[in-house]
Structure 1
């Protein structure tokens, strides 16, 4: 298990560092561009993001999951990735005119040309990263993410100051990808494969179809509001909803991203060693939701001052959206590792089935609720969250034998901790009003009080995460002495 802990440390440093730099970038952009400008880029990037889920076609996860790897399998994975990713890059470049006409936003055509660059570089980054992830070596990932994030931050600011507007955001993504490729190229820890093999890739393609299709549909749930609102409403409305969702998704993603890259290798290893994979899954959910549920609960209650301090008062209308979406993410993260579990046990088809149902429900809810306003759209996602929990629990019970009541019983301490943190945040609002102009005061009070309350709750409930934190603390003290 020490290898897993080390991987978690490097992965967390990598992902959290990149997220902090990303937060700085977002805060700066929110002050340099208008909601309408950000809305234009959000429409373009949402569509490209949908296509980008297919650019690797699951080849990276295939390499991580396989029991035995040969050089031929690696080259086949690269070959399939090149075929799909380059094909999508060409598709993006040539579809810009059509999409720009559909949304009646001329700038989307140029944005598509710029965003297509990433598709041609991605294969030569993803395969080396997958190979080091398989071995729980996340040092290279740390270097790649840090270098790419810094490059994105610097290029975004410089290009906006030079007058590129929303085009700066697209060019910054291209610069980020190029820098990541250079880090992989010159790293001694990565194994480079430049000669793809295009023969006998059917096995990887079948796996990739289900894996990438599922990832596409899962990400599509967050993108659907941008696409529907962009057609039925205005770019400014897209910008406001995108900022509200993006804010809480940033928080959830920051906490998840440190752990998520390790989950599939961890569950796959448990499966290869014939361990109890359902117990491993339950423990993974228990440990992470002990952090993410309380944080999202606090974010839901204190969305207004937090958005003001990060993005400025021009985004106040995004605060109610953020509150609803934070509650939705609490529901959604209950089974956030279910796709990793299904991949580890070779049940990718079920993964695609569940994501398709959830996406269809999301589309229907957004279209029905939009005439009632952005807050109604955000509120409809609570219904979606309940649907998702019920569906995934049913699938895991029938396909893998998950004991649903035992699973939710294990998560009860996390519910208690979240309620305690939520009540504490609500109490702070009476002492330091959240609607006050000085947003830093309530945010500062929350930042000072809530970590203590959260830690105290963990130890009083004798949560397994408290044991892990105690282990890390003792180990740190032992090393420093």
Structure 2
């Protein structure tokens, strides 16, 4: 199972701030997508191999409980340092050194707290097998602090080539370790050692790409701005962590580890696919919006383009996953995981809500709206826990359905805040959402029609589903053009930039036309 990749500030070495070729946002996004797709392919293939032949739902549930318990606090490790480095107007070597020092001291403290929590967690769930799994996962976070800062400096200078090496390399090590230990019969511990190997690889590669950045000697002078942002980020991290991990912890306590495994398989697949589609470019947009903010230009128009990009891609993908839930789970993981299919349906639909307002946490921090962000974080986290508590006694399906209810409430909480802060109009936002809804319906229509006219989902074969997916992609592209969705221009623009760097593509009429249009726009 893939583990989070906190990235943050850089150390005292002046070379960390040395000028580097600045990528355009589209080129950076292209590299981020390469990173995301490659990492996803590795993680996805690994999860299928492990689930079909080596890991049972109960073993995955055991790891998921340990991982959720540790990451409830381990998500605090970043302490906002990544956002500080990417958002600071003038990042001097001294500011970088201070941020690195705070990052290391705080992150190691959190890692030690996670290690100390291993015994209480095992006692709480009355399962001695949890202890070694929790200890290995917790110890992996001792490696995180020295990779946070180097990776954040790569992001600040838009060096997404290095970021790709970090993410892909760490995914390879995760997969290799997890499969090796699983083959040797270590069950849940195999997943824990995979997480450990991933963090180790992230540390080594990020240090290599930034030239060995260390925070020695420690420096705490002028730490106020980092501590202020870190406090806000910590509250937000706790809220996000509780929302993300509470279902697994509650299910593990009220039901059993096998139920946790089923829920984790459904939620993990939905989240992996969502990150595959849209998550890669989030890190690109944060420094890009910093530049817009510093230039004094309005933030509303570029934000609506980001909303269009996220919803135009992710909504059709998540709706497709929901429609394909039963055949997808059956084909990939086998019949013993089939009970995860109805859970996947609800969780995939909930993701439509969470991408409707992208960067909802990043932009308020960038614009100094931390108090408003915290109030909303706390409100929607409390709502998430309450919905979970009400749903859990009725079973797994109700827990999954509560995620969709929370997603709708999440949009209600954040939409007015983002509008007031960025200055876009309700009409413009609704226009983007309606166009994305239209392309979403077009994308899933072939699948739904095939279930009605060919074979229902439970009996649909690979040929039927594959053919309908390809038809859905074709209709999605056509509908993007028909409704004049802003994403269509972004796709052609990215292809035009790629064409300028790949000689044999330059002559293709479609790309040549796109490149000419891009040149005219710049002129």
Q: TM-score range by the shorter chain?
A: over 0.9
Aligned in 2, Cα 1:27/1:439: closer, same or farther, shift over 3 Å? farther
Quote the Cα distance in structure 1 between the aligned partners of 2:391 and 2:134. Answer: 30
Q: Which residue of 1 aligns with 2:131?
A: 109
Q: Secondary structure at the match of 2:78?
A: coil
Which residue of 23, 29, 49 maps to 1:8? 29
Which residue of 145, 164, 172 maps to 2:167? 145
Instruction: Determine if the alignment matches structure 1 residue 42 to structure 2 residue 64.
Output: yes
Which residue of 36, 39, 42 maps to 1:18? 39
Instruction: Determine if the alignment matches structure 1 residue 423 to structure 2 residue 427.
Output: no
Q: CA RMSD in A?
A: 1.8
> Shift in Å at residue 226 of structure 1?
0.5
Q: Which residue of 2 aligns with 1:434?
A: 457
Contact 1:393 1:404 survives alignment (8 Å): no
Q: Which residue of 1 aligns with 2:291?
A: 269
Q: Deviations along 1:307-326, whole A, 9 cap, x unmatched?
A: 11221121111111111111
Aligned in 2, Cα 1:176/1:381: closer, same or farther, shift over 3 Å? closer
Which residue of 404, 424, 427 maps to 2:426? 404
> Shift in Å at residue 402 of structure 1?
4.1
> Shift in Å at residue 181 of structure 1?
1.7
Quote the Cα distance in structure 2 between the aligned partners of 1:378 and 1:120. Answer: 33
Which residue of 366, 375, 383 maps to 1:361? 383
Instruction: Determine if the alignment matches structure 1 residue 295 to structure 2 residue 317.
Output: yes
Aligned in 2, Cα 1:253/1:476: closer, same or farther, shift over 3 Å? closer
Quote the Cα distance in structure 2 between the aligned partners of 1:232 and 1:162. Answer: 31
Aligned in 2, Cα 1:202/1:477: closer, same or farther, shift over 3 Å? closer
Counterparts of residues 69-468 of structure 1 (less than 5 Å): 69-187=91-209, 189-190=210-211, 192-195=213-216, 196-429=218-451, 430-436=453-459, 439-468=461-490
Quote the Cα distance in structure 2 between the aligned partners of 1:443 and 1:251. Answer: 17
Quote the Cα distance in structure 1 between the aligned partners of 2:377 and 2:234. Answer: 11
Contact 2:72 2:242 survives alignment (8 Å): yes
Contact 2:58 2:258 survives alignment (8 Å): yes
Quote the Cα distance in structure 2 between the aligned partners of 1:90 and 1:165. Answer: 25
Contact 2:25 2:285 survives alignment (8 Å): no
Contact 2:107 2:144 survives alignment (8 Å): yes
Quote the Cα distance in structure 1 between the aligned partners of 2:496 and 2:155. Answer: 28
More moved, 348-357 vs 449-458: 348-357
Q: Secondary structure at the match of 1:55?
A: helix
Q: Deviations along 1:190-210, whole A, 9 cap, x unmatched?
A: 562341323442321120121
Q: Deviations along 1:272-319, whole A, 9 cap, x unmatched?
A: 111111222111011121000011111111110111122112111111
More moved, 353-362 vs 460-469: 460-469
Q: Secondary structure at the match of 1:64?
A: helix
Q: Secondary structure at the match of 2:296?
A: coil
More moved, 313-322 vs 420-429: 420-429
Quote the Cα distance in structure 2 between the aligned partners of 1:228 and 1:295. Answer: 29
> Shift in Å at residue 45 of structure 1?
0.2
> Shift in Å at residue 267 of structure 1?
1.1
Quote the Cα distance in structure 2 between the aligned partners of 1:116 and 1:477. Answer: 45
Report the TM-score when normalising by structure 2.
Answer: 0.88
Q: Deviations along 1:163-199, whole A, 9 cap, x unmatched?
A: 2111111111111111222222333x55623413234
Aligned in 2, Cα 1:278/1:443: closer, same or farther, shift over 3 Å? same
Q: Secondary structure at the match of 2:89?
A: coil
Quote the Cα distance in structure 2 between the aligned partners of 1:282 and 1:312. Answer: 41
- The count of residues paired between Structure 1 and Structure 2 equals 479
Q: Secondary structure at the match of 1:79?
A: helix
Quote the Cα distance in structure 2 between the aligned partners of 1:16 and 1:35. Answer: 26
More moved, 405-414 vs 163-172: 405-414
Quote the Cα distance in structure 2 between the aligned partners of 1:2 and 1:160. Answer: 40
Quote the Cα distance in structure 2 between the aligned partners of 1:399 and 1:258. Answer: 24
Instruction: Determine if the alignment matches structure 1 residue 64 to structure 2 residue 86.
Output: yes
Structure 1 gap segments, 5+ residues each: none
Quote the Cα distance in structure 1 between the aligned partners of 2:106 and 2:494. Answer: 43
Q: Deviations along 1:211-253, whole A, 9 cap, x unmatched?
A: 2321331242121110111111111111111111211111111
Quote the Cα distance in structure 1 between the aligned partners of 2:317 and 2:44. Answer: 16
Quote the Cα distance in structure 2 between the aligned partners of 1:186 and 1:386. Answer: 43
